[in-house]
Structures are given as structure tokens and as C-alpha cells.
Structure 1
Amino acid sequence: MSDVSNILKTGDEMLVSVVMSVYNSQDYLRESIESVLNQSYENFEFIIINDGSTDLSESIIFEYDDSRIVYSSNIKNKGLIYSLNKGVSLAKGKYIARFDSDDICMKYRLECQLNFLVNNCEYNVVGSTAEIINSNGEFQGHFRLPETDVEIKTAMIFSNQIIHPAAMIRMESLNSLSCYYDLNYKHAEDYKLWLDLSSCGKFYNIQKPLIKYRVHGDNISIKHSGQQETLSKILSHEFCIINSIKFDVEAYKNILYKRIIEQSDVEVFYEIFDNDSFIKQSYLAKIYFVGLINLKKRGGRIIKPFFKSRFKKRINHIVIVLLYPLLCCLPKFVIKKYFRVLLE
């Protein structure tokens, strides 16, 4: 371990407050609670807010006789944002570890993230990648996310890049805000929080999974995806315009290279042209097309060619390079129409 290991062992000071809101989570709650209580780092408080559950959630929580649990119950369901704000206001720790009642913490999650924040004072948020599991706990895949501050904040222009239940946040930074979680951003409260925190510190994603993220029919991100998407577009625009974040072309190139390889090229291209800023569309289009050619030189996967032979593929690449200045000037619907023919 790093030089923070002595701090972790002393138990003299409450360093971490784990905050979890619970609403009708009886199916997964035991596994979630036990994954926190069995952490390798033991000096924490576990704040559980029961948000008016009508199932067996409360009785399950009462099964655990552990002095680290701080229990509070809402008389009726008040919603996630209210409950999180309540939980954070009760916290005594220097760091807030968010967690959800249907996910699972890896054993070294708190220790790993605490090590990072104690040793890197310029950072105020540390997240991680995650394993994806289904309702039965079966492995489904990975969430892979950008690592460095500049990569995360650049990619935040397009979508949320920090997994909320895998995040640990410096309490000092939270206290500098006018409020913790904004009630005006229901179902996108985490994205708004990252926006608010982005100007007062750096972000980092540890490149190993520290939680198992459960995907099931009752996920908020699934049940309220429409509202979440609308608010996310507003927040992504704000990420572009706030003075503290500068759009980093090189960082986006690196992100784009990875995404072109890992995702379908159509999705990446559409994502670029789904942005409202005409200037940004033009700029990113150039990066995209240059990136495709650079990928070809590096042996990466290129867009689906409409010619099969090696010689005609080469013609295809040349056409793309010549077309991109023209495409930057065309209306979005024309671009999409053209590329739907070209790519699909």
C-alpha cells in the first residue's frame, strides 16, 4: 500500500462516509450492505437513508448490528436527490463514497479510492470502471471510462463519464457548493454535480472495476432514460461553455480513436453531429476524418467500406479526406442522410 496505509490502520479519525439511499430494494439489499461492511478499510460510517420503502427493505437493514451503520428513514418517499442531500448533510467523513442499494462493492474499493485522494490533493473526485451484472448477478461486460482529468472533462462534453455509485468525493469540495445535489436535475443529478465540481478540482477514473453495477428493469437510468437524456444534453452544453473547462483537441482525438475501434462508426459520427454548436460540429468532423486516416495507418478498424477490393478501399479513404471540408458546411440532416448510405 501507499504511505496512507498508516492512516487507514489507526482508526483515529473518520475519513469516509458511505452514503446510500434505499427504496424498495429488498431483492439486492443484503448483498449490497454486506459488500460495504466487508471492506478491507474498516474505519467508515455507513449512512443508509430509507426513502419510504414499502417492501422488506427496512427489516433487512435492521438485521445488521454494526455500529458503523447510521440509519435514517423518510416518513414517505421523497426521491433520490432529497435522500442523498440528507445523507451527505449527516456525514462526518472527509470523503463521501456514493453507493447504490442494488450494486456490489469490490472488497478494496474504499481503500483504493481513499489512497488516491489522500495522496493527490488536487483531485476532488475519483471514480472507477465497473463490471456490469444482471439481476441474477451474472457478469455482462465492463464499463470502460476515460482515465485522466483532461480526458474525462473533454468527454463530459458528450456524456457523463463518472459512474455515480463508484465515486468518492472530497467533502471540502462539496461544502463549497451552494447545494450538494440540485433538485432541478432529477435523474441527472450526478452529471450536474460533476459540472459544479469541475471548476474546483480534478477528476480521475481508476482503471480497474471497484464496483459491480447491476442492470435491471428498475434502474432509474432505464425507467427515466428520456428525461435523463434531455437534461444530459443541457449539461453537456454547459460543460462546453463554462470558463474552467477548455476543449482539448488532443484529448478528444485519443478518446475518439478508442471509441471508433470499440463502437460502431455510425454511432460515433452521429454523436458528433448531435451537438448543437455548429463550430464544434465542424471542428470535430475534421478530427473525426483525420482520425480515421490515422487509424488506418496504425492498423485500426476503419469505417465500413462501400468498396470491397483493397484498391477501391483506398479510393474510399481519399474521398473521405476530400469531402470533410464540404461536409462541415452542410446541414446536419443532409450529412446524416449521406452517411447513412455510406456507412450502413
Structure 2
Amino acid sequence: MFFSVVLCVNERIPYLDAALKSIVEQNYNKKFEFLIIANNCTDDLWDYLSDNYKEEYVHLYRTDIGQLAFNLNYGANLARGEYIVRMDADDISTCDRLSKMEHFIINNKYPDVIGTYVNYIDDKGDFIKHCSVTPDNKNIRKKLPFRNQFVHPSVCIKRKSLLSVGGYLGGFQSEDYDLWLRMLRNRKFVFKNCPEVLLQYRITDGQSRGRRLPYSEVASHLLREFLLTRKLRFLFGTIVGIAKAFILPSK
């Protein structure tokens, strides 16, 4: 099996059905699995998922821990696919996301982490702006100490590579950036971004963008990398992260 899609959800938000259906209705003609991890959720959400998503390839799991990194690791441990496809409960995958990702992965000799371009949408599903990310491995590696180069819900990760670094470890709101920085230590890992829009990324008021906690976590991750590697780019990144934590967020 090539793909295991992992989606974590803890409440029945208005956008959930659209997110789930965008995976269930993929035009991908090969076998894949869809792991839905309901974490720290109500019985109402669990019953809803159980009653409405009965496809053979959809697997429902429930945990009591409402923390994303833990539940992503839980899904990765259960996954059988060569690649784990990230998906959030409020975003929308294009109907050809899996088929185009497989084509891109094979044509690029099976990279370890593959993201995509995305379109930002609002709570009504209206277009906000386009997001293009750095496509090639060399420049992704060069820029990562200063800024995250992946839109996390758009990413596919080679499962064996994820497990080899211990999975997701740190951060309540920066678990992905911590992962990329740890993977950056291994020169054999290849990072890519597919230059096509394969995800609509929803921006809502309740998200962590622009808040003090993620900036603080990012600064701590970068300081750790500086202390481990003694590379000045991580020190500069730490300083930038600290400045953002003090200057930008309102809370």
C-alpha cells in the first residue's frame, strides 16, 4: 500500500464533513487507507463518525489524549502505507491529490517529505490567497532554520523516515517544525514541495497563527539545534524566533 491518510479530530466543527469527503471521494484508483483518530472527543462525535463513514478503507480510532503530536504518532504506528498523508479536519484536499502526489513522488525518486502549494480559504470557503513554497531540497534545507518551508496538512512523509527519527516529539503548536529540524540533521533525507495546489488550507480565528506559544516553541527548537550543531544559522533563527515571540503576537 502506497498511502495512509491520517486525520486527527476532537470536535465536530462545521468544516469536518467537507474535509472527510475530500479524502473519501479521491479519484485515486489504487488501494489506500484513511485513518481517523478521534481524540479526547465526545460520544456524539464518535457516534457520528461511526454511523457515517463505514467505507472498508476507513478506520476509526479513539484516544483520550487531546494532543496532536501524540495522535499523529498513534496514527503513524497503525499505518500500513509507505507514505503517511497529513490531513486536517478543516481543510479540503483536491480530488486528485493522491494520484498527483504518487506521480510526483515516483518521478522525484521517493523523497522523504513532500509538501504542496496551497490556497488559503476563509471560514466560508472563499479564496484568500495563494501560497507557493520552496520546491527543491537544497533551498528548503537552506531556508528551514529561518522559516517553516512546509504547509503541514499538505505533507506526505515516508513512514520509515518518520519512525527513524522517533516520530513527532515536541510542541503543542509547532510539532511539524520540530520534526523538520530533526530530520534536517540527516543529509540523506530529501525534502520536496510539489508545485501544484493540492490542498485548500482554511484560516479561522481559532488557529494558532500569530500567537506567542508557537513562536516561543520555534525559538526553543532552533536553540536546541544551535547547541547541538554549533551552526550559526540556527542561532540567527533563534534570535528571529525570540524577536517574533516578543514583538508580533498579541497573546
- Alignment TM class, shorter chain as reference: 0.7 to 0.9
User: What does residue 59 of structure 2 align with?
Assistant: 70
Equivalent residue in structure 2 for 1:99, among 54, 71, 87: 87
Distance 1:160 1:274 in 2: 11
More strand by share: 2
Which residue number corresponds to residue 21 of structure 2? 34
Q: CA deviation at 1:216?
A: 0.6
TM-score, with structure 1 as normaliser:
0.63
For normalisation by structure 2, the TM-score amounts to 0.84
* Higher RCO (CA 8 Å, separation ≥ 6 residues): 2
- Report which of the two has the higher share of helix: 1
What residue in structure 1 maps to residue 214 of structure 2?
A: 228
Task: Tell me the CA shift for residue 206 of structure 1.
Answer: 1.1
In structure 2, what is the equivalent of residue 51 of structure 1? 39
Unaligned runs of 5+ in 1: 1-13, 248-272, 278-331, 333-344
Distance 1:121 1:242, change over 3 A: farther
Higher Cα radius of gyration: 1
**1:276 maps to which of 230, 239, 250:** 239
Contact 2:219 2:237 in 1 (8 A): no
Distance 2:32 2:110 in 1: 23
Shift of 1:240: 6.1
Off by >6 Å, runs of 4+ in structure 1: none
RMSD of equivalent CA atoms: 2.7
Asked if residue 138 in structure 1 is aligned to residue 126 in structure 2, the reply is yes
Deviation string 1:74-132 (CA, Å, 9 cap, x unpaired) is 2x343111111111100000110011011000111111122222333362011011100
Instruction: Quote the sequence identity (%).
Output: 28
Match of 2:204 in 1: 216
Distance 2:109 2:57 in 1: 26
Which residue does the alignment assign to 1:109?
A: 97
Partner of 2:249: none
Q: Distance in 2 between matches of 1:204 and 1:238?
A: 24
1:26-79 C-alpha deviation (Å, 9 max, x unpaired): 3111100100011121421000000122384324322122111010012x3431
Count of aligned pairs: 236
Aligned pairs (5 A) from 1:146-295: 146-177=134-165, 179-182=166-169, 184-198=170-184, 199=186, 200-221=188-209, 225-237=211-223, 276=239
Q: Distance in 1 between matches of 2:16 and 2:226?
A: 38
Matched, 1:15 2:6: no
Secondary structure of 1:30 counterpart? helix
Residue-by-residue CA offset, 1:224-269 (whole Å, 9 max, x unaligned):
x2111012123345566766x997xxxxxxxxxxxxxxxxxxxxxx
Q: Is there any run of 5+ residues in structure 2 with no aligned partner, and where?
A: 244-251
Aligned residue number for residue 121 of structure 1: 109
Tell me the distance in 1 between the aligned counterparts of 2:107 and 2:223.
32
Per-residue deviation, residues 141-190 of structure 1 (Å, max 9, x unmatched): 1122111111112121211110111000111211212x2110x3221110
